[in-house]
Each structure stands twice: as C-alpha cells, then as structure tokens.
Amino acid sequence: MARKQIVPKIANKELVKEKHKRIVEAASGLFLKKGFHKTTMRDIAKKSKIELSYLYKYISTKDDILYLFYEHVTNQYEPRYRMIESSKDEEPLMLMQKALLLILEAIHGRLHEVHTMYTESRHLKHDSLCAVLERESEFVKIIESLIRRGIKSGVFKVEDPVMAANIVQYMVVIESLRGWNFRGRYCFEDFAESVIDFIMGGLKVDEKKWQKIKSKKKG
C-alpha cells in the first residue's frame, strides 16, 4: 500500500517519529476544536511545545500534518482489516461477522477523530489526497475479497461485490458520520448488531442461518 513520504530535515528516525507523534496529538485536538483551516502552525507549535522554527524541521507544511493525522487515525483500525487477509481459511460468514464487529469497535473508540478525518480530508493537497484515497480503496478491496469468497462458498448472494464492498465500508464508519442522529437511541452493542444485521441482509445471507449463528454467539 502506497504511503506519502514526509521528508524531514532531521536524520534521526526515532526522534522524527516521536516528534511526529507529538505534533499529531496536538493537531488532533485543535482540528477537532477549531477545524483544519482555523488551526494555525503557531497553534500547533504551542500545543505540541515545539518551537515553530523547529516544527518545520519535522514537517514542511500544514498539509503534512493533516496527512499524518489521517495516518494516525487509520493505523488504529487497519489491523482489523489485515486480520481478514490473514484468516483465509476461516469460513467467510463467521469472518465477516467478527471483522465487522472489530472494525466497528475500533471506530467507536475514536468517533470524533474519524469524523474529523473524513470531513477535513477535502483540504489535502493532490498528492496527499491520492495517497489517502488509495489507502481507502485498499480497505474496500479487502472487504471485496471476503465478499467474493462468500459468494464462491454460497453464503453471500450479491451480484456486484464491488458495490457491496463500498457500501459495507460506508456502513462501518456511519456512526462517526451520523452519530448525532444515533446518540441516546442505542447503546453500542445494539448499534453494532443493527449495522451488522443490515449488512448481512444486504449480502443476502440466509436469514435462518444468520439467526442460528447469532444465537450461538450470544449463547
């Protein structure tokens, strides 16, 4: 998976990693509070406790920080997608259920960050945006590969796995995008169950088989 390379003026990789982490942590709170455009480099320098002149030794532009913020957020839940790739022998329906719950849990723990990531990504410059979109596409392709496995084994009966995978990817982040409309209506467990039920219905999983699997899981 392609990544944009942030080229610092400091050779010490461990130091750069530590400073990038501090910069992103500072920027994250500011982006959440003020938005990307209203957050200045001076704001980030002050919050991260790194002198403004030194800040530019680790990044070149505010775009670099927004890209690093995207990387920071997606790194928290990417392993849940990679688990699908490493579980090639697992039955597709059970794996889909497990993967969806794990991804929903990971995103639930970072709702505001994921929301900011999606709403502010439009401000990324072309090269950063291309890297971000490529990474997003990779997540969709992982879901698509699992759907194709399920179609082959007969548990999923959709005709367009590409469209289905894109819809699934949207559904797993829906709480961060439309959480205001769910707040106070569902606990996380009920919300996740509703989303997974909706996805399984869209994948045309046999209802009796799905209910049997759910009852076993609960038991």
Q: How many domains does the chain have?
A: 1
CATH number at residue 211: 1.10.357.10
Q: How far apart are CA 25 and CA 50, in angstroms?
A: 12
Q: Is residue 1 in some structural domain?
A: no
pLDDT at 113 over 60: yes
Q: Which domain holds residue 130?
A: 13-218
The chain-wide mean pLDDT, for the chain, equals 92
Please give the pLDDT value at position 217.
67
Q: What is the pLDDT of residues 161-216, one digit of tens each?
A: 999 999 999 999 999 999 888 888 999 999 999 999 999 999 999 999 898 888 87
**What would the two tokens of residue 212 be?**
């049997």
Please give the average per-residue pLDDT across 53-81, as a whole number: 92
Q: Is residue 203 in some structural domain?
A: yes
Predicted confidence band of residue 136 (pLDDT cuts 50, 70, 90):
very high
Q: Is residue 145 in some structural domain?
A: yes
Please give the pLDDT value at position 163.
98
Q: Is residue 4 in some structural domain?
A: no
Predicted confidence band of residue 30 (pLDDT cuts 50, 70, 90):
very high
Please give the average per-residue pLDDT across 146-174, as a whole number: 96
Q: Is residue 59 in some structural domain?
A: yes
Q: Is residue 7 in some structural domain?
A: no
Q: How far apart are CA 144 and CA 151, in angstroms?
A: 10
Write the DSSP assignment of 66-119 as a string of letters. Answer: HHHHHHHHHHHHHHHHHHHHT-TTS-HHHHHHHHHHHHHHHHHTTHHHHHHHHH
Q: Is residue 164 in some structural domain?
A: yes
Q: Is residue 2 in some structural domain?
A: no
Query: What is the pTM for the complete model shown?
Result: 0.88
Please give the pLDDT value at position 174.
95
pLDDT at 219 over 80: no
Please give the pLDDT value at position 189.
94
